[in-house]
């Protein structure tokens, strides 16, 4: 007799409303309300955490400056994420998807929304506010692209207000049209203008969510770190930021509009069949056509002159963004760092997945594939910097000087702000025989999100994974509270160029003078 086999087919609806992605909920309430400047918001209470999602902080027509959002009548639902900025089509699965799970969402140019997680709706609570700027360069990403960006667990663990922000990206946020007259000034910084508008909205309203507008920390990773740095160059952000964290992103002086940025703007018009007299039609061109024209313009500009700066990036126009830190930013506390396997040279896609089983001979062979006849010299410099590590670890190390570069520029600017640097070095050994600290990985732990189901898979949910999330989250939280990220048992000395103290963040974290100039020189280009 033929046996019947039951098959369970699960259909996933791509437009199912998404709430905060925490683990198992014990209790959910649907009635918390907060009156902000524009009207009344209705959020959720999930366990102990109040969530207000998709909250409008600004409004803006295409290529125009952000303004305060319009008021609304009645109660506005703030129970699901709002739209994200339009981005280029995503057509393939990232090589890091297992360890850095993504999610995508409806796109709309009216994307100036933010998400709030808090433990109190009491104006007298005055809890620290942590505002996160997402990565993806200035081209991609969103406040919900990574599952790890969910703010519930960090808010709950640290008793703080956590905020994540959407804003305009790519051609919508960074196309330089300043050469076409006053009405097009600062178009190259509209993405950053949105972020400053979000901070202004929070300054005016975050007390209603238990937050202290006098204690705001902005933090961002990769492109988000660059955004943090850009905000620190905005005179209009004075009084809105008190601590800043740049994670694997560029910091310091900004470049101004140049021949490259202007050429991209000029060619974009040409490819769309427009000119100075018809430039207003840019505001109604379908987004995909606008993006395609600007992408083609950037490629052609690079063909003309490979030295031209044609990517989407904030530009110092001398008014909205200054080239150097304005006076107020010099007094902001700064923490800046990188990760151990910063570039693509990490164990996700390098080596053979057996690094913890390599013999001495195999280790040597792998190192020589990367460093050739310089292997001994590189090993000597590596162990001088990392006496606690093994030879095999060098194969996955990236010589990333961003932390020192960012710190030196901030130090040279002067001011009273504290200054700290770090290197995140924790390896998730339970995942595929070991996943070294890749670009983005520290955010899982900074957001205290190991308990989210897909993140448990991404980290292995080991005892060490839970330990490192407490260590990292407490560093970020302590910095947000006091400007000092040290904690009991893990003191953290400040950085100076003469004494380049750096925290090596791991299960057993160490802070010591970290002069990596020699190792960086030996590893240049490899």
pLDDT tens, residue by residue, 297-331: 999 999 988 888 888 999 999 999 999 999 999 99
Please state, for a pLDDT cut of 90, what percent of the chain lies above it. Answer: 87
pLDDT(401) > 60: yes
Does residue 231 have a pLDDT over 50? yes
Residue 5 pLDDT class (50, 70, 90 cuts): very low
Confidence of residue 372 (pLDDT cuts 50, 70, 90): very high
Rounded mean pLDDT, 373-402: 95
Residue 191 to residues 139, 164, 170, 197, 231: CA-CA distances in angstroms?
Answer: 10, 15, 8, 10, 10
Tell me the per-residue pLDDT of 29-48, one tens digit each, with 9 for 90 and over: 999 999 999 999 999 999 99
- 125 vs 42, 161, 369, CA distance in Å? 20, 10, 57
Q: Which two tokens stand for residue 324?
A: 């150097």
Question: How large is the average pLDDT for residues 139-145?
Answer: 96
| pLDDT at site 23 | 47
Measured between alpha carbons, how far is 106 from 99 in angstroms, rounded to an integer? 24
pLDDT bucket at 453, cuts 50 / 70 / 90? very high
- Per residue in 235-262, pLDDT (tens digit) is 999 999 999 999 999 888 888 888 889 9
Which domains are seen in the chain, by residue range?
334-523 (3.40.50.1820)
The CA distance from 372 to 366, in Å, is 10
Reduce the secondary structure of 305-337 to three states and give it as a string.
CCCCCCCCCCCCCCCCCCCCCCHHHHCCEEEEE
Nearest to 296 by CA among 310, 275, 317, 280: 310
- The answer to whether 55 and 119 are in contact (CB under 8 A) is no
Residue 24 pLDDT grade (very low, low, confident, very high; cuts 50, 70, 90): low
58-85 residues labelled b (16+ CB within 10 A) or e (exposed): bebebbebbeebeeeeeebebbbbbbbb
pTM: 0.94
Q: Determine the pLDDT at residue 259.
A: 85
272 in Cβ contact with 369 (< 8 Å)? no
Q: Residue 522 and residue 526: Cα distance in Å, rounded?
A: 9
- Rounded to whole angstroms, how far apart are CA atoms 387 and 514? 12
DSSP 8-class letter at 12: P
**What's residue 9's pLDDT?**
44
HSE-CB for 260 with a 13 A CA cutoff? 17
Q: What is the pLDDT of residues 84-133, one digit of tens each?
A: 999 999 899 988 999 999 999 999 999 999 999 999 999 999 999 999 99
Q: What is the pLDDT of residue 306?
A: 85
pLDDT of 12 reads: 41
* Confidence grade of residue 3 (pLDDT, cut at 50, 70, 90): very low
Task: For residues 232 and 321, give the distance between their C-alpha atoms in angstroms, rounded to a whole number.
Answer: 9
For residue 150, give Cα distances in angstroms to 59, 65, 314, 353, 454: 24, 28, 26, 30, 12
Q: Is the pLDDT of residue 19 over 60?
A: no
Torsion angles phi and psi, residue 335, rounded to 5: -120, 130
Residue 214 has pLDDT above 60, yes or no: yes
Which of 224-241 are b and which e, b meaning 16 or more Cβ less than 10 Å from the residue's Cβ?
Answer: bbbbbbbbbbbebbeebb
Return the SS3 of 422. strand
pLDDT for 310 equals 86
pLDDT at 4 over 70: no
The stretch 164-190 carries a mean pLDDT of 95
CA neighbor of 492 nearest in space, from 425, 421, 432, 396: 421
Mean pLDDT (the chain, rounded) = 93
Cα distance between residue 391 and residue 499, in whole Å: 26
Both tokens of 363, joined, read 């280790």
pLDDT tens digits along 422-432? 999 999 999 99
- Tell me, what DSSP letter sits at residue 363? H
Residue 303: phi, psi to the nearest 5? Answer: -65, -40
Predicted local distance difference test score (pLDDT) of residue 175: 97
């Amino acid at each position: 007799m033929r046996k019947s086999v039951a098959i369970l087919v699960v259909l996933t609806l791509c437009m199912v409303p998404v709430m905060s992605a925490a683990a198992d909920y014990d209790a959910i309430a649907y009635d918390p309300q907060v009156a902000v400047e524009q009207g009344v918001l209705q959020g959720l209470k999930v366990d102990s955490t109040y969530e207000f999602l998709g909250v409008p902080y600004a409004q803006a027509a295409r290529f125009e400056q952000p303004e305060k959002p319009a008021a609304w009548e009645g109660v506005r639902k703030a129970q699901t994420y709002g739209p994200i900025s339009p981005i280029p089509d995503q057509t393939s699965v990232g090589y890091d998807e297992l360890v850095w799970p993504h999610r995508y969402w409806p796109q709309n140019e009216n994307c100036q929304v933010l998400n709030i997680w808090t433990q109190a709706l009491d104006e007298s609570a005055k809890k620290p506010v942590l505002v996160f700027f997402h990565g993806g360069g200035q081209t991609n990403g969103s406040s919900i692209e990574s599952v790890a960006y969910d703010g519930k667990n960090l808010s709950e663990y640290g008793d703080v207000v956590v905020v994540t922000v959407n804003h305009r990206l790519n051609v919508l946020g960074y196309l330089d049209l300043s050469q076409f007259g006053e009405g097009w000034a600062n178009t190259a910084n509209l993405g950053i203008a949105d972020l400053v508008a979000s901070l202004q909205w929070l300054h005016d309203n975050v007390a209603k969510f238990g937050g202290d507008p006098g204690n705001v920390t902005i933090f961002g990773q990769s492109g988000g770190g660059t955004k943090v740095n850009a905000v620190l160059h905005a005179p209009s952000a004075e009084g809105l930021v008190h601590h800043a964290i740049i994670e694997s992103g560029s910091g310091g002086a900004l470049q101004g509009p140049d021949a490259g940025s202007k050429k991209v703007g000029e060619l974009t018009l040409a490819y769309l069949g427009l000119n100075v007299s018809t430039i207003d039609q840019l505001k109604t061109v379908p987004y995909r056509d606008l993006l395609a024209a600007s992408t083609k313009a950037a490629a052609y500009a690079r063909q003309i002159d490979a030295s031209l700066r044609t990517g989407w990036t904030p530009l110092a126009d001398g008014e909205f963004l200054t080239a150097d830190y304005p006076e107020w930013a010099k007094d902001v506390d700064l923490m800046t760092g990188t990760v151990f396997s910063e570039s693509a040279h990490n164990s996700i896609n390098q080596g053979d997945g057996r690094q913890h089983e390599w013999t001495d001979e195999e280790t040597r062979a792998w190192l020589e594939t990367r460093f050739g006849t310089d292997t001994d010299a590189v090993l000597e410099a590596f162990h001088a910097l990392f006496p606690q590590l093994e030879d095999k670890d060098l194969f996955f190390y990236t010589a990333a000087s961003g932390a020192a570069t960012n710190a030196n520029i901030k130090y040279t600017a002067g001011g009273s702000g504290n200054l700290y640097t770090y290197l995140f070095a924790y390896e998730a050994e339970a995942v595929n025989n070991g996943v070294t600290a890749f670009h983005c990985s520290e955010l899982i732990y900074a957001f205290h999100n190991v308990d989210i189901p897909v993140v448990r898979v991404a980290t292995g949910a080991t005892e060490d994974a839970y330990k490192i999330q407490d260590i990292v989250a407490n560093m970020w939280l302590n910095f947000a509270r006091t400007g000092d990220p040290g904690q009991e048992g893990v003191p953290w000395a400040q950085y100076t160029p003469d004494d380049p103290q750096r925290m090596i963040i791991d299960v057993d974290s160490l802070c010591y003078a970290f002069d990596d100039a020699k190792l960086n020189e030996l590893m240049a280009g490899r």
